[in-house]
Structure 1
Amino acid sequence: MAVADEGSFTRAAAKLGLSQSALSQSIRGLEERLGVRLLARTTRSVSPTEAGDRLLLGLRPAFDGINGELTALTALRDKPAGTIRITTFKHAAASVLWPALTRLMREHPDVHAEITVDDGLIDIVAGRYDAGIRIGEQVEKDMIAVRVGPDIRMAVVGAPSYFERRPAPQDPRGLREHDCINYRQTSSKGLYAWEFERNGVPIEVRVNGPVIVNDAEMMVMGAIDGLGLTYIFEDQVAADIAAGRLVRVLDDWCPPFPGYHLYYPSRRQLTPAFALLVDALRFRA
């Protein structure tokens, strides 16, 4: 399972705390006992064969059940302990997860965390994560979802120097005539389409401009430097708007929408450490 997950004997050995030769020998011994090849090896990668995939399909639920029961034994300890694996994206990690997590870990030093920052929608079951944090409307219906943040708004902003050269757009469609700073999604590799709504009518606009980035801080820097307009979470530019470094436009086209939710499989048995995290993150208006 470790070799299949990592796609590498070297990484799997490091994960398991074994030498690469010992791990390779164990796999060869297993294949010889079963009389079937489980892993296809090349000089660059390792991947399961059809037989390997079939075996993994049967093994994962069994091992997950064993690991769940062993982890649940921490309930018998005086202190919650264990590692919590979470997938989220940068804004949620900084604005919601990190403040709660640092407080929790100060109070419970035996609780550890592994955080993966990715702007794509991750299958937390296949990725073997304990939970994910995403915008509420992105959470699958078969997941338990716990609200962990307030409603969110977006903002279209540009520098005063930019608006000295160009008149402000009057509606989202007018953005097509403006220089805009595009965001390249790291997972899908596509350009994010700017989404607006007014009076219940949604509009999606594909914009163009001189700069494409995959980082929110660079989007703000580009807007402040007058390279174009950008579309970003309101709280990320609130200070710049207040200081006059940026000017907001199309405010009435950016209504609030459901904020971040922590989500996890409905069949997941809550460990004491994970239960503490859920409580620490839970949004209280």
Structure 2
Amino acid sequence: MDRDLLAHFPVVLTVARRGGFAAAAAALNMSPSAVSHAVRSVEERLGQPLFARTTRSVALTEAGADFVASVGPALATVEESVERVRSAKGQVAGVLRINVPRLALPLAITPAIIEMSRLYPDLTIEVTCDEGLVDIVAAGFDAGVRLGEMIAQDMVAVRLTKPFMAIMVASPAYLEERGVPHSIADLSRHNCIGYRLISSAAAYAWDLQEKGQDVSVEVSGTVRVTDSLHARDLALENIGITYLFEPLVREDLRTGRLRQVLPAASIEEPGLFLYFPRYASQAPKLRAFIDVLRRSSR
């Protein structure tokens, strides 16, 4: 096998994982033309296309899917071997790829990244904000962040935050104009800033409790988003009532910019966790990140 060709294999895998040449180029810090050249070189050597290209999309061909399925694990094994060698020397270097929902950034991730940048200048932390339930192993991430209840049992989980409440909030101006709801049923008469789930494309029903029982409440309104921080911004602009995690609006509640609605209906969530496959825990870059996260969450 041509050694130069082997160097192109990670490029092919990145195009497959990122779903396009431009996204792969950004992830690899390469030009789109260089990525295209690498893929074309592999395709020419194999004698068949790996990707079906249109002006709007890039998708794996059957041959491409077979290539990724066979070469991906092999390259992962090589990367693990390199990490084990680095582990012996305790080097914290390379690229740490993590997949996180945007709400996790202010709650845990950003403070840890600031500390990691100071301590480990040879390490690059690549953060992908994603509100969907991505398969971190298949997508090439070292770790991800989710609510504890959403993590597969075969993953190792490290707590990032304490449990917190999921609450409803609105601005004083909105409540003065539209009135304060006194029951869950009253929400049907209010403009609720809802959510669209990226993973299933379904509208999210708010998880609440009524008389000690968990209930799922479908809400309606003029806006539906995929990002809770965006929902907060809209609530601050007097658009309506929204549902989000209390730490995201703690300062807004303290200063009076937002007010909690129906506090008795709030539920407790288990908190955010960093999760990763067990084999990845030996990598110095991930161990260092976990240590920093634990210190910053105390």
The two structures have a TM-score, normalised by structure 2, of: 0.82
Kindly provide the CA deviation profile for residues 221-273 of structure 1, in whole angstroms up to 9, marking residues without a partner as x.
43234332111221222222222222212112213221111111123352111
Equivalent residue for 1:3?
12
Mean CA deviation greater in 106-115 or 194-203: 194-203
Identity of counterpart residues, as a percentage?
33
Counterparts in 2 of 1:221 and 1:55: CA distance versus 1, 3 Å: closer
Equivalent residue for 2:105?
93
Kindly provide the CA deviation profile for residues 48-83 of structure 1, in whole angstroms up to 9, marking residues without a partner as x.
332332232222211100011113322344642111
* Of 35, 38, 48, the match for 1:23: 38
Taking only aligned residues, the RMSD between alpha carbons, in angstroms, comes to 2.8
What are the residue-to-residue correspondences of 1:55-204 with 2, within 5 Å? 55-77=67-89, 79-197=91-209, 201-204=213-216
- 1 or 2, which has the higher helix percentage? 2
The two structures have a TM-score, normalised by structure 1, of: 0.86
CA separation in 1, counterparts of 2:258 and 2:96? 39
User: Which runs of 5 or more residues in structure 2 are unaligned?
Assistant: 1-8
Kindly provide the CA deviation profile for residues 113-172 of structure 1, in whole angstroms up to 9, marking residues without a partner as x.
000001111100110100001110011111111111111212211222333344422332
Task: Say whether the 8 Å CA contact 2:167–2:267 is kept in structure 1.
Answer: no
User: Which runs of 5 or more residues in structure 1 are unaligned?
Assistant: none
* Of 251, 257, 279, the match for 2:263: 251
1:39 correspondence with 2:54: no
| CA displacement at 1:278 relative to structure 2 | 1.4
* Of 220, 234, 256, the match for 2:232: 220
Task: Say whether the 8 Å CA contact 2:99–2:143 is kept in structure 1.
Answer: yes
Count the aligned residue pairs: 281
Counterparts in 2 of 1:183 and 1:43: CA distance versus 1, 3 Å: closer
1:231 correspondence with 2:243: yes
* Of 200, 205, 209, the match for 2:217: 205
Task: Say whether the 8 Å CA contact 2:207–2:267 is kept in structure 1.
Answer: no
CA separation in 2, counterparts of 1:85 and 1:21? 23
